[in-house]
Homo-oligomer: A and B are copies of this chain.
């Protein structure tokens, strides 16, 4: 069984005083809940603005066809305290995208926070920010983390300095709660968790070591 939350030896991100500016990247053929999960949590964080960002303002369809609408292009984005990098199949098409990779690299190198969800971690890898960092991703992409110099860490959420990585898909909710707790304190995160009633049951207990049939 995976761990829930793992911290590296690196210094934890400090509590943030003042307004929080958060940006969520979206892109075609992403997995929508990699974004809507963190949006749900982070938009409820006290004194925060969440920007929904993309390469252009065109409508985006996620891998299952859900329409998402960006409100700002990357080029116009303000300085972000937190950048959310989701995943899903569309991540593959961005692995050599200079604009996306620069966005991630500059965010990380400035010391500001990056939250990767699912295969968003691979975008972070392509941006070169995983080298020597503990990180997690969707179980099906687990084996790819070392390609980017990351230290694969079996945990639903991993905090390594200013890089927070969440495992697959719905783990973005957990990753965002951890970000909220780091920046605003545990009581703020607990209040969000309570308001969104995130106390999941597990009716089904699939063995996460067993892989489902290929699509």
Contacts and interface: CB of A to CB of B under 8 A. Distances in A.
Interface of A: 2, 4-5, 31-33, 36-37, 39-40, 43-44, 50, 52, 59, 64-69, 71, 118, 138-139, 156-157, 167-171, 173-174, 177-178, 181, 186, 189-191, 193-206, 208, 210, 212-213
Nearest to A2: B199
B168 A170 contact: no
B200 A200 contact: yes
Nearest to A5: B203
Contact of A4 (B2, B4, B201, B206): B201
Nearest to A189: B204
A149 to B, nearest CB: 23
A189 B204 CA distance: 8
Nearest to A24: B66
Nearest to A44: B64
A123 B174 CA distance: 29
A135 B170 CA distance: 25
B203 A40 contact: no
A184 to B, nearest CB: 12
Given A181-B204, A191-B213, 8 more contacts: A2-B199, A31-B40, A32-B40, A33-B36, A118-B197, A170-B198, A171-B200, A191-B212
A212 B198 contact: no
A144 B171 CA distance: 32
B181 A203 contact: yes
B170 A186 contact: no
10 contacts: A31-B40, A33-B36, A33-B40, A36-B36, A36-B66, A43-B64, A170-B198, A189-B203, A190-B204, A193-B206
A67 B184 CA distance: 26
Best-surrounded residue of A138, A168, A181, A204 (most CB of chain B within 10 A) = A204
B52 A197 contact: no
